[in-house]
Structure 1
Amino acid sequence: MPHAAARSVRRADARQNAEKIVQAAVSRLGRDAEASMNDIAGEAGVGRVTLYGHFPSRQALVEAALVRLLSQGEDVLAAIDLTGDPRDGLRTLMESGWLLLAQAASVLLAAQATLPPGRVQELHAKPERRVHNLIRRGQTEGVFRADIPADLLASTLHHILHGAATDVAAGRLDATEAPRFVAEMTLAICAVPPAPPQHD
């Protein structure tokens, strides 16, 4: 086989192996947040040398798994029509975000335990910007409270999602009820507060 063709085959094999490893990490960490590199190599059907050749540390592999899930989630969230009433859009975003987070909860736990402080939130920046922009539009249109900065509201909603995921994982919250609770809490927090009573 000519050298160029051989290199092309090796590159294709390497890409396939990397893809298998990431998919195995998503699957294995999705069942067990503490899964080891050996566990993931076994799931992928590759040896340790191949695994470490693509991902030199568990931290690198956990991040790759989280990035893969966030990318898949972004495809779902980007398809949501947010051009109507901001309240309807926010409800849909939070319910959809919850479902995506529930599917990725174990991988997220692995990421929170493995990645440097702030890295998980950094990787969530794009979906958070979408929420922030929607809140800001709602504030401009007068349907969301404007006395609290949009950044702080968006950050609070992020914590609600992750708090609900933690409570579901701990058995304190029914997973089937979580989307409704998350959406209702979100809308309550963002709602325009009632005007203070007028005194004669």
Structure 2
Amino acid sequence: MVRTTAAVGAKRADAVRNIERALDAAVTCLSARPSATMAEIAKQAGIGRVTLYGHFASRTELVDAVVARVVERGDEALAQVDLDGDPRAALERLIRNSWRLVDEARTVVAVAEAELPPERIRSLHDSPAARVQALIERGRDDGSFRDDTPVTWQIAVLHQVLHGAGAEVAAGRVAPADAPDLITATVFDLLDRR
């Protein structure tokens, strides 16, 4: 039997919908229970396990796709943050918006850190890191931020502080409402000229 272009296009559209449903279900399941299985994710998505495995050969591959999606959507949101003007004020706006995204995705991020290689997690954060780097470099150039430590170190510490705050909130040692102020104070202790 010859398949028509319309039939192939419909199947592709169906496959795209299944992938989207699987990713949405994975976020929901992994946020509720980090050890959620592929079977649980397929059930939540309303698709069969065979269909889920047809799109994602393993749980690790699915987790990778989920994190890539979460980071991409977060990057799109952060692109809307006004980074003009005073670098210090701009960085504070960026930190507060970044924290909101990290807080929303902290369980998924913890799953990713347990299942994906560190270099993959770093590569997924390349675009957000570039935005932070440009802002910190602008602050270094105008004297707002110290320039006696490598900018790559400053970015790495900021990243770790954000995700460390997520872990502290998850452990119940820091209230979510307190985290942005703690993160900002810690980062500016790192960046402020001595």
TM-score range, shorter chain: over 0.9
Deviations 1:75-102 (A, max 9, x none): 1110111121000011111111111001
Residue 145 (structure 2) aligns with: 144
Deviations 1:136-177 (A, max 9, x none): 110100010111111111111111111111111111111110
Query: Cα 1:2–1:122, aligned 2, differ >3 Å: closer, same or farther?
Result: closer
Q: Which amino acid aligns with 2:97?
A: S
Measure how far apart 1:57 and its partner are: 0.4
**8 Å contact from structure 1 (residues 28, 43) kept in 2:** yes
Deviations 1:102-147 (A, max 9, x none): 1000101111111123211221111111111111110100010111
* TM-score using structure 2 length: 0.95
4+ residue runs over 4 A deviation: none
Q: Aligned ranges for residues 80-95 of structure 1 at < 5 Å?
A: 80-95=81-96
Measure how far apart 1:13 and its partner are: 1.0
Which SS does the other structure have where 2:118 is aligned? coil
CA distance in 1, matches of 2:79, 2:94: 10
Q: Which amino acid aligns with 2:72?
A: S
Q: Aligned ranges for residues 149-160 of structure 1 at < 5 Å?
A: 149-160=150-161
Aligned residues: 193
CA distance in 1, matches of 2:63, 2:34: 9
CA distance in 1, matches of 2:125, 2:33: 22
Residue 135 (structure 1) aligns with: 136
CA RMSD of aligned residues (A): 1.3
Confirm or deny that 1:114 pairs with 2:119.
no
Deviations 1:49-92 (A, max 9, x none): 10000001001101111111111111111011112100001111
Measure how far apart 1:3 and its partner are: 2.0
Runs of at least 5 residues in structure 1 that lack an aligned partner in the other structure: 194-200
* TM-score using structure 1 length: 0.93
Which SS does the other structure have where 1:104 is aligned? helix
Residue 69 (structure 2) aligns with: 68
Residue 125 (structure 1) aligns with: 126
Query: What percentage of residue pairs aligned between the two structures are identical?
Result: 42
Q: Which amino acid aligns with 1:149?
A: P
Which SS does the other structure have where 2:174 is aligned? coil
- Bigger Rg, structure 1 or 2: 1
Q: Which has the higher contact order (CA 8 A, sep 6+)?
A: 1
CA distance in 2, matches of 1:152, 1:2: 55
CA distance in 1, matches of 2:18, 2:106: 25
Residue 198 (structure 1) aligns with: none
Query: Cα 1:2–1:163, aligned 2, differ >3 Å: closer, same or farther?
Result: closer
Q: Which amino acid aligns with 1:47?
A: G
Q: Which amino acid aligns with 1:126?
A: S
**8 Å contact from structure 1 (residues 157, 186) kept in 2:** yes
CA distance in 2, matches of 1:188, 1:179: 14
Query: Cα 1:10–1:189, aligned 2, differ >3 Å: closer, same or farther?
Result: same
CA distance in 2, matches of 1:68, 1:3: 32
Q: Which amino acid aligns with 2:18?
A: N
